[in-house]
Each structure stands twice: as structure tokens, then as C-alpha cells.
Amino acid sequence: MIASVLVANRGEIACRIFRTCHELGIRTVAVHSDPDANALHTRVADTAVRLPGAAPAETYLRADLIVKAALASGADAVHPGYGFLSENADFARAVLDAGLVWIGPPPSAIEAMASKTRAKELMGLAPLGDVTPADLPVLVKAAAGGGGRGMRVVRRVEDLTAALESARAEAASAFGDGEVFVEPYVEDGRHVEVQILADTHGTVWALGTRDCSLQRRHQKVIEEAPAPGLPDDLRAELHELAVRAARAVDYVGAGTVEFLVSGTRAHFLEMNTRLQVEHPVTEALFGIDLVAEQIRVAEGAPLPDEPPRARGHAVEARLYAEDPARDWTPQTGTLHHFSVPPSVRLDTGYANGDDIGVHYDPMLAKVVAHAPTRAEAVRRLAGALEKATIHGPTTNRDLLVNSLRHKEFTTARMDTGFYDRHLTELVGGPGEPYAPLAAALADAVGRSRFGGWRNLHSGPQTKRYAMAEEEHEVRYRHTRQGLEADGVRVIHADPSAVVLEVDGVRRTFEVARYGDQVYVGGTALTALPRFPDPTAQLAPGSLLAPMPGTVVRVADGLAEGSAVEAGQPLLWLEAMKMEHRITAPVNGTLTALQAAPGQQVTVGSLLAVVEPT
């Protein structure tokens, strides 16, 4: 029996595995990089071991350090989670060679399937060789790892070389393996996968299907189980192919076989030899704990001959600290307050007051709803996200709510091109129109001990706020009867809540303030100074860092005085394990270049200046 588990991972998945271990009475060991010294997964574990450094390559990707930590802490088993070393056969062997239990598939199975190129060969497929215009569009894909990293869609042959170089660099940074390959890119297909679970006695379960078609940058955003609208014969074919793939490599444990479905045809993508991020929807559907099953299988316990029956429908949304309206730019800062209604499941690696840094994936949490029908599950998830309290960096919450309520999704007609078609209509929006007034009234009450009214009539007070990239000026008065605003009846106001009556309709607004950041319900505002700072000016054409990160590359031959074209990549930033291009905004001349490879930058740092032609 396993008594102590070290989780070779961080964040949400480490916390989720620890939760099951605690329920089973198993002691837990965390490992952490220096930025994660006070992370939630480190705090909830029974024991924590430091991995010196910050970058994944020197911490969570160091198999030798992790095995050493397991032995030093007295752990007798290692769970890899997902990402990092979870699909690294050498790591699995190192764990086994150290006399520890590996909670995962045999190294031989990982080796056969973890490389997408070798997996395709095993399934009788082969990647593309020399790409011609007739092959377009194609997908450049990392052979190791997943999560959308190391993937590039190429629509012109002349763009292939740059895509290969970029994908190799990103894959090497994320997985320690820069191998990539090229395959046909199926436009507007559905991403459908099958969860499998196998024991050491020859039993293999196919635990239904999942649809993961809503993706950004080839990384899943919303997932559900079962995949809606699949014909019974196609569903049976997917189950059969998944089981066949597992048996072909003598698979043990939890894994996922992924397909791209176009019409009634299924194209094999890959087999992930690990637990998937979206495993909670399968757990909700079948009423099981996949992590607990992984542990039991690792202990040698047999699975029943047949899996439990699926019931109802489950939907999961990944909540990211990112701004979809700004090319999905990752966001950093303090998560002041975060909570969701109890009607849904929350898997997260953050708690109130935690800092969201630059080194790792920007996913805050997974929010999961289960209900008897798909429509009910979708409605429950959208409502819970809408009512969630998220005070901190910008997130994709509004995008998730709008996606779940979009007709194309509610009628199950979505595909992997969903956000390419609908992103503009799903992001942004004007925000709550009375949010600036509620913020101003709450602030007025909080700053005034005696109510602020005067014996003589006075002019209105004014406050300015930025909301949805627009400035709003609010006017109100202190009177003997309390606060007064034109056209709106103020029923109540205190620093944390404001009640307004507009045209006979009473509405309550919860208000929270952290420095200049104000949150009114789900609307974020920034309190602006009464008089703008006249010195806060930048040269026209200034390119500022949209996020904190590291400059990894500068375009070849680029120097001050170079002529550049609009859209031309000038340099690349790496933040949260992904590369972000900084491009020229206009045709012009590069008059200043303030960035160099290896340089650390903060939000708003001046990177370059392009003077328009």
C-alpha cells in the first residue's frame, strides 16, 4: 500500500492530487521552485522540498532533483500530474530505478506514445515530409508535451521555416525537447478524445468521449463529456480505436487518445500518456475519482470488468489570467479575492492574496458543472462563472460566459475554429453602466466621517474612472438626506455595498477597492486622478512590454535605423511558458531598440520606438 506520494508538479494539478491523497489517508510531498515557495500546492502538502531556481528547466524539469527529493522526504511513490515530466520515459525509469512506485504507465508505453511522431508510426500514420502548396494549411507540432505549446498553423510555404524555428524554441523551453513535425491541418474539425483507464491484469476501460473543440492557440478552453451529437457508430469506433491503442503498448493507468473529427471521419492525433487537464468532466460523468483509481492501479488492484454507467452531462471551463481582447496576453499581479458559487466544482492552485507570476501557465482554475442534461449543465456553469468573485488581474471570465451562451455552442455546432470566427463579439463590452457611480458613492461614504453635507448649497463632487478602456466622470452631491445623483435614487451606500433605484428598479452593487483598482460586481474599474499627470508622455510609436517576461530573441539584422513594415516581428518575449511576438505597428524606421536577448522586462517597459514613415 502506498503511504506517501510526491507530486512532481505544481499549481492546480498538484493541489487536486493532494486532495485525493488526503482523502485516502496518504501523506503528501510537494516540490517547489523559488517563485512557488509560498504557492498553494506548497502550503497544503504535508512536506515540501525546494528545487532551487525559477525556470522550469532548472526546477520542475530536473528529474534528478525530483527523485532526490522523493527519497529525502520519505515518499514511496511519485505522481507526475500533467505537463513537465509527466510523459518523460527517462523520468519514469529513474523513479522506478530508485525503488519508488511510479503512478503512471510503464516507461515503454510512454516511450511509444509520448512522441507524437512515434505514436503516428505505431498507428500506421506518418508526418509530412517536404511541404508543397498543395499540402497547405499544415500544422507544426512539438513531438513531446502538449497544452498547445510548440504548435503553429502555417498557411504559406514561405512561413514554414520561421514557424519551425519558433515551435522548436518554445517546445525546448516547455518540455526540454525541441523535436517538431509537420502534419495536415484540418480546418473546422472537432477535437474529440476518449479517456482510458487500464490495470495490470489486462482490463482496459473506455470512459466515454470528451469534446474539447473550443481552443485558443491550440490550447483547450471549454471541454465537455460526453461529446455531443456523435453518431453511435462513430462513438463506438472511437472507443475501439482508443482501447486498441492502449493494448498495443500494454498500457497501465489513466490516459487519453485524441482525435480530430471531421463529419463522420476520425483522424488520430495523439495519445497522452498521463492524466488530462479536463479529467474532471469524466469524473463527474461517471462518478469516479480518476486519481484514486490511478493510485489503486499502481498498487496492483484490478479494475472491475465493466466501468460504471455514465450519468448526465458535465462541462468544464478553464479560467485564465489573460486578456482575450489583447491577443490572449497573460496577466500578472495579486489575486485579491476569488470565489465561485457552491453549485459547481472548483479546482485551483490559488487562494486569496496569492500572486500570479510570470514563470508558469496563466490558468487560475477549472470550473466544472454537472447536471442531468447538457443544456442544464451549460446554464449552471455560465451562471456560476457570471456570479464568481474575481478581484485581481484581468481574466477570460466574460469570454467563457459569452462562449457558453453563444448559439453555436448551445446547439453543439462548434468546432476548433470557433474563436477565429467569434472572438470579437465574445470579448469586451461596455461594462456595467452604473458601476462608476456605485464606485464613487462607496468611496465618498468611506472617506467621509460626517456624511460630507454642507449648510450651504454646493456644486457636485466629481470622480473619474477608467472602465472598458473608456473614461467615465461621475457627479454626485452630499445633502441633508444623504448622497444624491442625477436621475438615480440612492437607497443606501457604504464602502462595500451601494443600493440604487433607477426607474423604480432597485439594484444592489457589491464594491471592493484595492488601491486604485475598484470592483463593482463583476466589473473592474481604475480610479483616475482628478488631474492627469502632464509628464506622463511617451514618444509616438513607442512599443511597451504588454507583460513581464524575458526577451528571448530579436529579429535578425534589426538595429536602430532599420526600415520596418507594419506587422513585422521585431522581438519575442517569453512569459508563462509561451512566446509572444512584438511587431511593428506601422511602416517606418526603428529609431530606438531598448531590448536585448536575456533581458528581463516589466509591464510597460519601453522595448522599441518605430517612427512612422
Question: Tell me: the pLDDT tens digits for 333-355?
Answer: 999 999 999 999 999 999 999 99
If one compares 483 and 561, the residue with the highest pLDDT of the two is: 561
What average pLDDT score do residues 374-388 get? 98
Neighbour tally for 347: CB within 10 Å: 19
For residue 538, which of 587, 570, 585 has the smallest C-alpha distance?
A: 585
Q: At residue 458, does pLDDT exceed 70?
A: no
Neighbour tally for 107: CB within 10 Å: 21
Summarize pLDDT for 154-202 with one digit per residue, the tens.
Answer: 999 999 899 999 889 888 877 778 888 888 787 778 999 999 999 999 9
421 is catalytic: no
- CA–CA dist 180, 172 (Å, integer): 10
Joined grid coordinates for residue 29: 510531498
Question: What one-character-per-residue DSSP string does 474-542 give?
Answer: EEEEEETTEEEBTTBEEEEEETTEEEEEETTEEEEEEEEEETTEEEETTEEEEEEPSS--TT----TTE
Half-sphere exposure of 294 (CA within 13 A, CB side): 28
Alpha helices in 39-124 (DSSP H): 40-44, 63-73, 89-97, 107-114, 116-122
- CA–CA dist 224, 285 (Å, integer): 10
CA end-to-end span of the chain, whole Å? Answer: 71
Summarize pLDDT for 525-578 with one digit per residue, the tens.
Answer: 999 987 655 545 567 788 988 777 889 889 988 999 999 998 899 998 887 667
- CA–CA dist 152, 140 (Å, integer): 5
Say what the pLDDT of residue 200 is.
97
Average pLDDT, the chain: 91
Summarize pLDDT for 214-228 with one digit per residue, the tens.
Answer: 999 889 999 999 999
Q: At residue 374, does pLDDT exceed 60?
A: yes
For residue 146, which of 60, 271, 253, 279 has the smallest C-alpha distance?
A: 271
Joined grid coordinates for residue 249: 503498448
Say what the pLDDT of residue 450 is.
45
Cα–Cα–Cα angle for 135, 140, 143, rounded to 5 degrees = 125
If one compares 606 and 350, the residue with the highest pLDDT of the two is: 350
The confidence band for 7, taking pLDDT boundaries of 50, 70 and 90, is very high
Strands, E assignment, 8-150: 27-32, 47-50, 77-79, 101-102, 138-142
Say what the pLDDT of residue 576 is.
64
Give the bridge partners for 409, in sequence order: none
Say what the pLDDT of residue 531 is.
64
- CA–CA dist 427, 510 (Å, integer): 23
Say what the pLDDT of residue 451 is.
47
Say what the pLDDT of residue 605 is.
85
What average pLDDT score do residues 369-398 get? 97
What average pLDDT score do residues 244-249 get? 93
Question: What one-character-per-residue DSSP string does 163-195 give?
Answer: HHHHHHHHHHHHHS---EEEEE--TT-EEEEEE
Neighbour tally for 499: CB within 10 Å: 16
What average pLDDT score do residues 97-125 get? 86
Q: At residue 132, does pLDDT exceed 80?
A: yes
Whether residue 173 contacts residue 131, with contact meaning beta carbons closer than 8 Å, is answered with: no
What average pLDDT score do residues 251-276 get? 92
| Strand 101-102 with 77-79, pairing | parallel
Joined grid coordinates for residue 23: 482523502
Residue 336: strand, helix, or coil: coil
Give the bridge partners for 192, in sequence order: 211, 259
Give the bridge partners for 314, in sequence order: 225, 370
Percent of the chain with pLDDT over 70: 94
Whether residue 259 contacts residue 267, with contact meaning beta carbons closer than 8 Å, is answered with: yes
Say what the pLDDT of residue 239 is.
97
Least confident of 8-17, 26-35, 225-234, 596-605: 596-605
Residue 605: strand, helix, or coil: coil
Summarize pLDDT for 301-328 with one digit per residue, the tens.
Answer: 999 999 999 999 999 999 999 999 988 9
Q: Which domains does the chain have, with CATH numbers?
A: 4-103 (3.40.50.20), 312-428 (3.30.470.20), 435-528 (3.30.700.40), 542-612 (2.40.50.100)
pTM for the full predicted model: 0.84
Q: At residue 523, does pLDDT exceed 80?
A: yes
Please pick, among 274, 318, 477, 513, the residue that the annotation labels catalytic.
274
For residue 34, which of 48, 52, 47 has the smallest C-alpha distance?
A: 52
- CA–CA dist 320, 374 (Å, integer): 23
